[in-house]
Structure 1
Amino acid sequence: MGRFPAAVLLLVALPSLARAQGGLGSVDRRVDPARQVVVIVNEAVPDSVAVGLHYCRRRSIPEANLCRVRTTDREVLSWPEFREQVQKPVTRFLEKFPDALFLVPCWGIPSRISEENAENDDPKDEPESTVRTFVTNRDYACLDAELALLPRPARAIEGWIESDLYGRNERITAAHRLFLVSRLDGLTAGIARGLVDKAIHAETFGPAGEAYLDTRGLDKASPYGYTDEEMRLTLQVFAAYGWAIHHEDTEEEQDVSSLKNCLFYWGWYAGDWNGRQPFTFRTGAVAAHLHSCAACSIRTETRFWVGPLLSHGVTCTTGTVYEPLTAGFPRMHLIYDRLFQGYTWGEATAMGNQMLSWMAVFVGDPLYAPFAKGLRETQAANRDLATAGPRKAEMLLDSGDLDGAAAILRDIRALPAAFEEAADPAFLLRELAARRLQPASGTVDSVRTACAEGRAAALNADTKAATAAFERALKLSPLNFDANLSLGLFLLDADRAAQALPFFDKCARVDPADPALQVPWGIALGASGKFKEAIPILENAVAGGDPGGLGALGDCYLRAGDRPRAIATLKDAVARFPKDRKAWASLARAHRDSGDDAAAHAVLMEAVQIYPESVLDIAAYRTLWKDANVAAERAKLKKEREDIIWVLKDFDLPDFAPPTQGVWLEINRQADAARAEAGALVLGSIQEQALKVPGLPRLQCGNLSPSPIVLYLKGPCSRVVRFPAFAGQKGASREVGIWPGEYDVVLVVQKGGEKTTIVGTTTFHLHKEYGMTVSPGLGLEFPQR
């Protein structure tokens, strides 16, 4: 950040806070989204359009207000690109919106314009100064800052322009001839999309949390002391509105991730995000860190500041895209002041930004106004409804007053956002629908508890206990959506689609449009031979944004005889979900049915690279190899078939027999218990070498240590191998046949009354053998033959 001589400091003379401040929530929000908001998206980037459409839906902005440009997907573009690809189409589009005030560039729109005329930088005919070096004739800029000045076209692009709105405290309208520009951006489109959701949540329930100011304790007379003094004005702002603030005023760099319950943060002067632990800002947070390069890239979660702040949950932030000098960085104390009064983020940033046509970028929903006049009382009522309402509705359900419960739940669902600190009413809504169709004998809480126990058991892969819990829930409430869905999913995962279908059909009676139901219901219908019924359900699910049904949809198209559509859909499925083994198998079948056995073989060889994840996957994995053998034979691929046959031979060897599901679960339980021992050592790398012929992986393991050892392999083909203490006997090593996949490897060495545990994770690949003999010093060696 450039230093300022005294002459330059005059540029940053502060507006009077006494004149600027009004009361908390004294300004109402006056925005007509249909007339005043234009959303700018890059139609060359599909996710940019998706973010823009989401914003329009959430803020009731007509889709006609979506301005589509086509430009680079990079963060920086040149002036010629800006003029032709952004400025001209946006200017033409704005002719339809004479009252436009807010412009919202979305993820995928560049944020920086590169320098056009570098040769005229630092003009020598002017007196030497910081401004001459960093401002005069400099024409790199923030793209949004140039959009803001579209109503003022007759101007030079070099240098900065003093803002006539800086420090004002008044409603901004189109008459001011300045667009209020704040973008929806971040590392990912998902982060950008979530900014409006966070803003609406905070407006609905009120922002809550702690405020932090991090200054450097500098003397006002020091080179950077003026900036430190200016930042300390934030203390006056927060005090004026009755908001306590934590102030750190030393040179020591403050770890932002250590700030508890953080809603507001304003600090300086680290170059990059300095958080050293997991951290999330409170919803509705407004935070910034003053640094020259705070926004040199926005699509990052570790470099600079704006990107990481967004990645850690901030709702609104600001930074600069190139060197701004301190005069060019927005004044957060003014922005906070205007927000507290009730102005929107877009208005507050305009009044807190001194320099136009310069480097400042603002990120967040420009309509965000959590302190607008009249919101405080509404927010309190909304919090009460969201927190106390579910319990009241539950009591009414238990008493049989379904209409009373429905009225409360309807009010909760009508809130603009779901309160993060309240119970999700979705379970109650589904249970209400179920009880309208069939009475329940148990309380809502007893049904919920049984479902929770079922989910916990399912997470531990204990299907038997999970099934029992969900069946208990159905005895209490026969049409409970969650229990029926879970039991259907268990059966579907076990390839028992016909038995799963009745459970999904019961779910459909309760809520046929529930997104969690669509894909599994469609899969079960298709696998049960009802592919014509399945197709529209799966098509709706995919159109609604759930591509998880693509594989099943392609399979249904295939069963319906539409091979071209099946192949196209299945290719899309495996491209999106390269580990969807069933989609690969269906694509191979589609090629086979089209007479292209070579293509079917190629697809199946891709599919067998998707290793099993549990013992339940092994049967399907075995089938892929058998189908690959048939395809190779039909395509007359002699060498390829010979390789496949070597693998098929391993299937029938006793050493490769997988455990039963019960044994598999027990080995996994023992491995987890051993792995949880305190003070475990880290397993070294397990040596490997290629097999002489293709086949399933082998593990040569043994014990040369003087202590007995237990080896646990937790994976798709879990094993437990026990070795006695080595006493010079033969047969100290043995070969263990396993199926390919990722395994937790746990070695337990028992030496007297002491136990040493060594743990690691390894993927055992096809056509490889691995060696791990434990040496006397507990190292790993490849067994000697």
Structure 2
Amino acid sequence: MNPLVMILLTLRRSLFLALPLLIHGQLLSKPTMLPPETVVVLYNSEDEDSKGLAQHYAKARAIPTGNLIGLPIPLGNEISREQFRQKIQTPLCRIFDDRNWWSRQTGPTGLKRPTSLKRKVLVTMLGVPFKIARTLDTIPPDQVDKRPFAPNPKGNEASVDSELSLLGVESYELAGQIPNPYFGKDQPLMELSNSGFLLVSRIDGPSLKTCKRMIDDAVAVENKGLWGKAYLDLSRKGEKYEQGDQWLEEIAGMNKAAGIPCVVDRNIDTYVTNYPMSDAALYFGWYSHHRNGPLLNDSFRFKRGAVAAHLHSYSAFELQNPDRRWCGPILDRGATATVGNVYEPFL
């Protein structure tokens, strides 16, 4: 199992950044090809950079032009639930219906959901908002926590991408978590995509230049292989953090079994700023609110094609900021793929 997927037990508030069409390389398992015709690319038609990036991605991946969808979406990183429905969800559903990209049936409750998908992967571009704001009136007034980053299991805030994975489901509970049907599965993705859930990922980051590099680096590394070392940074901050440490120890075990050189920091402090993290092809760590360690070193760069992630509740909250949180800085320092949360996740 790809260690990147191990930590995602539930959907709703997480983002995948830079999903490749071919998962390959010396550090990864048997290649799994995603047929280009099964991939839909969503961009913001109000943003020329978004359209240009979609075209760049489609050309690099031989995705048919007819699979590129431009929608006029409000500019900005966060939209309301109503804006999401009106500007993204409803028109995209209509396109899938009109083009026969899926089959949907009405279940016992009288609501539709997909039963088969001809287009199984949806990739959102820079320019498409990535956060859906909480609708406060769905929570009883005495239970609303108005702190900016307060976790609330009854809140309905979400990532745009995770909600799009449920695109064809006519109605579902907005508050709380939804089990991820892909979690814990070892079969190729294409054999698992009959659950009615779209596989959704995103090409986004601190700059257009970074986004194009992510695409180009993924293609290059698929052809040559991803070579390098893995670096893990455990928390060791007490009992409530033990599960995350266990996940990282499992990754260390998989690396050892695969023959991947692996450096594990089991100290309470994270890697120090000038730690010589050379040839970093894989990085998984926690727990710090903002980038630290080698990511504060201006000369540090991940290996081309690197996959890196830092466990933190708001790691993708400021996705396009190269200096704050984690996802933006990780991509700015040369990684090709990461995963993060735009709000407090459910684990």
Provide TM-score, normalisation by structure 2. Answer: 0.80
Q: Does 1:308 align with 2:325?
A: no
Structure 1 residue aligned with 2:345: 324
- Cα 1:138/1:25, change in 2 over 3 Å: closer
Which whole-Å CA distance do the structure 1 matches of 2:42 and 2:341 have between them?
A: 20
Alpha carbons 1:103, 1:181 under 8 Å: kept: yes
Residue 279 (structure 2) pairs with residue 267 (structure 1): no
Distance 1:309 1:28, change over 3 A: closer
The structure with the largest strand share of the pair is: 2
Tell me if structure 2 keeps the 8 A contact 1:214–1:267. yes
Counterpart AA for 1:267: G
Q: Deviations over 1:86-109 (max 9, x none)?
A: 111211222322311111100000
In structure 2, relative to structure 1, the CA distance for the partners of 1:25 and 1:106 (3 Å cut) is: closer
Asked if structure 1 preserves the Cα contact closer than 8 Å seen for 2:40 and 2:121, the reply is yes
Q: Which residue of 2 aligns with 1:168?
A: 185
**Conserved? CA contact 2:93–2:168, under 8 Å:** no
The alignment status of 1:180 with 2:199, answered yes or no, reads yes
Whole-angstrom CA distance in 2 between matches of 1:134 and 1:94: 34
Matches within 5 A, 1:340-379: none
Partners of 1:135 and 1:64 lie apart in 2 by: 40
Shift of 1:217: 3.1
Residue among 91, 100, 105 paired with 2:119:
100
**Distance (Å, rounded) in 1 between the aligned partners of 2:195 and 2:164:** 14
Q: Choose the corresponding residue for 2:33, options 30, 35, 47.
A: 30
Determine which of 278, 285, 293 is the counterpart of 2:306: 285
Task: State the match for 1:276 in structure 2.
Answer: 296
Query: Which of 126, 134, 137 is the equivalent residue of 1:115?
Result: 134
Match of 2:114 in 1: none
Equivalent position of 2:74 in the other structure: 72
Change (3 A) 1:247 1:69: same
Report the counterpart of residue 719 of structure 1 in structure 2. none
Q: What SS does the corresponding residue of 1:157 show, helix, strand or coil?
A: coil
* Paired letter, 2:161: D
- Which residue of structure 2 aligns with residue 421 of structure 1? none
Q: Give 1:77's aligned amino acid.
A: I
Contact 2:316 2:328 in 1 (8 A): yes
| Alpha-carbon RMSD | 2.2
Q: How many residues in Structure 1 have an aligned counterpart in Structure 2?
A: 295
Q: Measure the CA separation in 1 of the matches of 2:210 and 2:265.
A: 29
Q: Which structure 2 residues correspond to residues 450-529 of structure 1 after superposition, within 5 A? A: none
Q: 2:240 aligns to what SS in structure 1?
A: coil
Aligned partner of residue 232 in structure 1, secondary structure: helix
Matches within 5 A, 1:737-752: none
Q: Following superposition of structure 1 onto structure 2, how do residues 709-748 of structure 1 map, counting pairs within 5 Å?
A: none
Residue type of the partner of 1:32?
P
Matched letter for residue 161 of structure 1:
I
1:67 CA drift (Å): 0.7
In structure 2, the partner of 1:206 is 225
Q: 1:63 offset after TM fit, Å? A: 1.1
Q: Distance in 1 between matches of 2:297 and 2:53?
A: 29
Once the two structures are TM-superposed, the CA of residue 241 in structure 1 deviates from its matched residue by: 1.1
Give the secondary-structure state (helix, strand or coil) at the position aligned to 2:42.
strand
- Distance in 1 of aligned mates of 2:301 and 2:27: 26
Matches within 5 A, 1:422-441: none
Matches within 5 A, 1:696-711: none
Instruction: Look up the match of 2:86.
Output: 84
TM-score, normalising length: structure 1? 0.36
1:152 to 155, 169, 177: 169
Alpha-carbon deviations, 1:382-440, whole Å to 9, x = none? xxxxxxxxxxxxxxxxxxxxxxxxxxxxxxxxxxxxxxxxxxxxxxxxxxxxxxxxxxx
In structure 1, the residue matched to 2:265 is 248
Q: Which amino acid aligns with 1:206?
A: G
* Closer, same or farther: CA 216–78 of 1 in aligned 2, 3 Å: same
SS of residue paired to 2:254: helix
Cα distance per residue 1:234-290 (max 9 Å; x no partner): 111111211120000011121466311211000011111123322111111000001
Secondary structure of the residue that 1:49 maps to in structure 2?
helix
Distance 1:26 1:186 in 2: 26
Structure possessing the higher relative contact order (Cα contacts under 8 Å, 6 or more residues apart):
2
DSSP-derived class of the 1:223 partner:
helix
Q: Cα deviation per residue 1:670-701 (whole Å; 9 max; x = unaligned)?
A: xxxxxxxxxxxxxxxxxxxxxxxxxxxxxxxx
Could you say which structure has the larger radius of gyration? 1
Q: 1:257 to 1:151 in 2, by over 3 A?
A: farther
Amino acid at match of 1:139: N
Q: Contact 2:32 / 2:188 at 8 angstroms: preserved in 1?
A: no
Q: Is the 8 A contact 1:255 1:276 kept in 2?
A: no
Q: What is the CA-CA distance between 1:78 and the residue it aligns to?
A: 0.4
Give the 3-state SS of the residue equivalent to 1:92 in structure 2. Answer: helix
Q: What secondary structure does 1:91 align onto?
A: helix
